[in-house]
Structures are given as C-alpha cells and as structure tokens.
Structure 1
C-alpha cells in the first residue's frame, strides 16, 4: 500500500502581497465614492435643516406679524450704574436672545424656552442648527454652537450702549436687512421686503474654520447658539459689491500671521482663518462672511422659504443684491 503524503496548501509570500495590494487598491477606489455618498447625505440634511428654519421664520411671522429680531450684542436689560448691558441669570429678560432662540416653538423645540438655568440652556443641543458636513451635533467648550446665521443685509454695522442707558446706539444703516435685524431696530415684515422674498437672503451657513471649533479664536464660533444675537455667531452680511473688502489673518492657506483682503462672496470653510497670530495662535477674528463646508458652494434659504445651493464663484454684485430687501436690483445668482 502507498502511504499518502500529507500536503500542506497555503499562500506563498508573493501571492499574499499581491492579494493585499489588490485589496488596498479596491479600498482606495471605493473610499472616495463612500465619502461622496456621505457628503451628499450630509448636504441633503443641511438643506432640510434650512428648509425647516425657513418655514419656522414664516410661522413666526404669521404668529407675531413680523420676522424675529437678530437681538442685542451683550445682554438685555440696562441696570443703573453699569457700563454694559446686564444679563439676568434667572432665566428672565431673554429679549436679547438670538433669532434661533425665538424660533424654538416653530421647530418643535418650544420646551427649551422653559429652561431657567442659563448654563443648562447654553448646553442644550438643537440638532437642526448643526450642518452635519461641518460637525456632529454636540457641545464645544461646554456650550452648543450653531452653524447657521441670519442675514443682516449688505452691511454689518456696529452698535454700542450709550452712557446714559437710554437705548442702544445703532451705528450704520440697517434698513436693507431681510428678516434678521437688531432687537431695537425697525420691525421687518414680508410686505417690507420689496425686492421679493425669493430674491432676498434670509439665512445660510457661516464661514467657520474647522480647526477653530474647539476654541474661541473664531469670533463667529465663540458664543452659545441662543445668547445675545447681534454678532458674527448669529448674523453675517453679503457686502456692498465687488469693491467692498474684508480683511482676515491666516486666510486662504496663510499661516504666518499675515493679513489677507478678500471680497464678501461666500467662502469654503477650508479657507477660513483660525486666529490672529502665526499658525492661528492668539487673538480673535470676527468673521462677517457666509460660507460652508460643502464642495463648491453653500446652502441658503430665501425669504420665501426656498432653499438653494449658491456657488462660491457667485458674482460679488449678485451676492450683495441678494442680501438686501429693498435695493431694486436685477441679478442672477448663477452669474
């Protein structure tokens, strides 16, 4: 009888390396496709968020007879002997809170307005105010921050509390704003948007460097989602045209602390500054531009509640006209 020899079957080293190489190539080919699918889903979710925000603006208008205010910078009640607006910590005097706070009952989050403790309110996550392409809904330095801003018009005028406490001094003209204006300014209604609601920007994504999401160096990402709303955390502007420029430090790939001047067209988040010093250290930059994490453009909602995707290459003239409510301009965002 023949004694059968036991044979050991297996891969040679070369065969194993070939298999590994093929798997690596397939993963390399598949990964971009998976990332595109994820980004498409995130962009769709962002679009839906802004759609809900637009509907909330309309429902608020139907109930209150006006759009919600952009609120006050600082706090809300002037107290004798103080040199700034004083915030009530017991949950009262929230008149100066942002438009996002005012819209809560219209996005099925009305119960959040019943939270008394300010710290608890600041740490309350409202997922509809987060763009999933920018970050996951959650806390940043123990507070929740929003990825969406209202339109202040074509300009971003400053404000200052008067020494006598007689009301805020409004520096600049706010009459071109759509629906998000200072608490102390003229009430804006749909009827006052004479350019047409579909031709007027209501809200959109904000320019925000991803590296600044864990700190306070970005002036558009250093405050809670609901606090005093007249600053770059809650409102942005579109600029007055091609000659209107904005200066930022460490933008567009610059990391040595140098300043860069750009127009007010929306920009991708990857080009946003992260701080005033070299490599983003030190200082706080106060962003005034719209922008976003998506490839090629950003999502915005118009005064009529419609959501559109606007290219980063939109003309500065058209973008400026889109930010005003009564400019009488003729424009196309496809330019």
Structure 2
C-alpha cells in the first residue's frame, strides 16, 4: 500500500512575516540607494564647476584677463541687454557652436528675434544634476529658454557695475571677479555710415589675475543656485516655500548700507517679483546669471533686486545638496561651503581685493 506524502505550505502568518522582513530590508536599503545617487549627482556638480573653472583659466590664458563681467555693446540697439559672462565662456567649454548662434551686434533681451534660436539652447555644463526640474521660461519664447544653476560671483556687493551712480558699487574693496567698469568716450561706430562698429565703445574693463590680491584660492569665481520654476511669469507661479523668486525693493542699494538687503525685501512683502531667476543664462541681468556674497549660502529669506533697473541683486548661492553649496575658486579648486559659515567669512571669500585674512578652518 503506497503512502502519499503531503507537502506542507506556508501559513498566512509565515507569509506575512516574510513580507514584513522584505519591507524592512527595502526601507533600510532605499535611503542608502538614494544617498548613493545623490553622492554621484553631487560629484557631477563638482565636476561641472571644475570644468567652468578650467574654461575660465583657458580664457585668461588666451586674453591675459578673466571673462569680462558683461558682454560687448550691441550696435544694433533695438534691444540693448548685453551678453552674460556665462555666454562668453561657451567657446572654452567646447560650446563654440552654441556661442556662434548668438548675434553679438544685437542685444540679448528676452524675445529678441535675432537671438531666439540661440536662446533655446541648454548647456548641460550649466545645469546641476540634482535639479530634476525641466520647466522652461516660455513667456516670450514658445520653445522655452536656456536655464542654469551655476552663477557668477558679484563679490561682496549687490551691484554689477562699479562707480558712484545710484545703481553702482562705490567701494571697490567689495568687488568680486565679475564686477566691472565700462570704458568711456568714443562712439558706437568708427565711420559716419555706421558700417564699422567700434568694439571698444563702452567696453567692459575685465579683471586681471594680478588684481586678485586676496589670493586666487580665497576668491570665489562661480557657485550654484536654485532656479525658478516659472513658465509664464504669472503670480500663481510664485513659490513661497523656496526663496527662489526675486523680490524687488524701491529702497536704495547704494552707499554704506548697500551690503545688507533692504528690510522690505526681507519681509517678502514687496511689489514686483522677478520670476525668472536662472532661466536665461545668456542674459546679463544679475538675476539670471549672478549671485552675491552679501547674503549667506542657502539664505533663509528672499533674494532681492533693485527697482526699477534690476542691475543689483542680493542673490544667494543655493543648492539642492544638503548643508551647503559648491563653490569654484579662482585657483581652479571646488570646495563645499557649509551653510554654517560666518557671514563675514563668506563675504571675504567674495571680494578679490578686500584685504581680509581667511583661514581654511573658518569654512
């Protein structure tokens, strides 16, 4: 008489225990996987900034000066905004085709017909891999404009231009690598028929390495920021949780108090907002391509620009990496600067000739 052996299956309790164990393992492993992915993205971010620093060094080797703080004067003056330093750096990032697509005789204003094709281009070296958003600013260009996470340092000042006018920085000791003066005199054309543009007209006076008396290892060149998510420049697109939309202030940014943001910006209760921060890397408005050391990394309050010129900005370096921001220095190094850095030290790292003494253990 044959005997049939019965196979014993899992009980419901045993099955639930196995599922629970698998769930616990997944819960333990998932943060580790996410952490590894973020570490890889952060390493790529560092590499992007290193490539930008190398490009700036190659530019200096070619011209014996660093990248100018603003592009050449557009002789076709229907549009007047100039090219940004980031756009001028393109040929040294192996992006000569992208650079050549811009028409330098015309301004780089939003919606300028001569620049539309070029303005659509996204340069991967200017995008932090930890920024997973792909929204493009499309108010003036249906295809969306080229965006960026990396910004040029305006030093320990909100102002692009040095000088004594109300929207300029009078204290040159606060200036960084991309603050600038313009040449004066002459005319836009060398001939009466206006067929020969004068490339020296209102040209930017660039910074030389010899002017960085604080030391290239103690002077910031580029850092990163969070960019706006606005697409159509509407009030509904203001993100109150992240201070990445720039508020504007009618208060003066000039004189001895210019180093601190006006109180009305800090309150977040001002009039006009600039919703396209980091949404047009090629345009020389400071909200689109620059940051300042006047406010600390990952500043907890609003970025702030002046009204009505928009040529000054207390714009923070911000990042998608926990605890701080990556900064490229003039010596080619890239360092992670913690949010806890003291404001005087951060400001000292912004100026190129402020005379401050900064030790490595202070950041």
Q: TM-score, structure 2 length as denominator?
A: 0.67
Deviation at 1:86, TM superposition (A): 3.5
How many Å apart are 1:43 and its aligned residue? 0.9
The residue aligned with 1:267 is 298
CA offset digits 1:219-263 (Å, max 9, x no partner): 474464443213122111111xxxxxxxxxxxxxxxxxxxxxxxx
Query: In structure 2, the residue corresponding to 1:292 is in which secondary structure?
Result: coil
Q: CA RMSD in A?
A: 3.1
Q: Please state if 1:122 is matched with 2:119.
A: yes
Q: Where does residue 165 of structure 1 map in the other structure?
A: none
Give the 3-state SS of the residue equivalent to 1:299 in structure 2: strand
Query: For the residues of structure 2 that align with 1:20 and 1:300, how far apart are their CA atoms?
Result: 45
Is this contact kept in 1: 2:85–2:284, CA < 8 A? Answer: yes
- Unmatched 5+ stretches in structure 2: 103-113, 139-143, 183-203, 239-244, 247-274, 305-312
Indicate how the Cα distance of structure 1 residues 30 and 223 shifts in structure 2: closer, same or farther if over 3 A, else same. Answer: closer
Tell me the CA shift for residue 315 of structure 1: 0.8
Measure, in 1, the Cα distance between the counterparts of 2:292 and 2:302: 17
| Compared CA separation, residues 61 and 169, structure 1 to 2 (3 A) | farther
1:46 and 2:45 are equivalent in the alignment? yes
Q: Secondary structure of 2:49's match?
A: helix
* Cα distance in 2, alignment partners of residues 274 and 224 from structure 1: 15
Q: How does 1:128-139 map to 2 (within 5 A)?
A: 128-135=125-132, 139=136
Gaps of 5+ in 1: 80-84, 89-93, 160-167, 240-263, 276-285
**Contact 1:125/1:138, CA 8 A, preserved across alignment:** no
Relative to structure 1, the CA distance from residue 149 to residue 274 in structure 2 (aligned partners, 3 Å threshold; closer, same or farther) is closer
1:237 aligns with 2:229: no
Q: How many residues were matched structurally?
A: 274
Q: Name the residue aligned to 2:331.
A: 304
Indicate whether 1:205 and 2:204 are aligned. no
TM score, norm. by length of structure 1? 0.72
1:14–1:224 distance in 2 versus 1, CA, 3 Å: same
Give 1:46 shift: 0.6
User: Structure 1 CA distance, aligned partners of 2:355 and 2:217?
Assistant: 13
Q: Deviations over 1:91-137 (max 9, x none)?
A: xxx8x111111111111111112225522222212111111112367
Contact kept, 8 Å, 2:219 with 2:349, in 1: the verdict is yes
Deviation at 1:180, TM superposition (A): 1.5
- 1:320 Cα deviation from its structure 2 partner: 0.6
CA 128–158 in structure 1, closer or farther in 2 if over 3 Å, else same: closer
Distance of aligned partners of 1:107 and 1:329 in 2 relative to their CA distance in 1, 3 Å threshold: same
Cα deviation for residue 170 of structure 1 reads: 5.1
Structure 1 residues 174 and 52: CA distance shift in structure 2, 3 A: farther
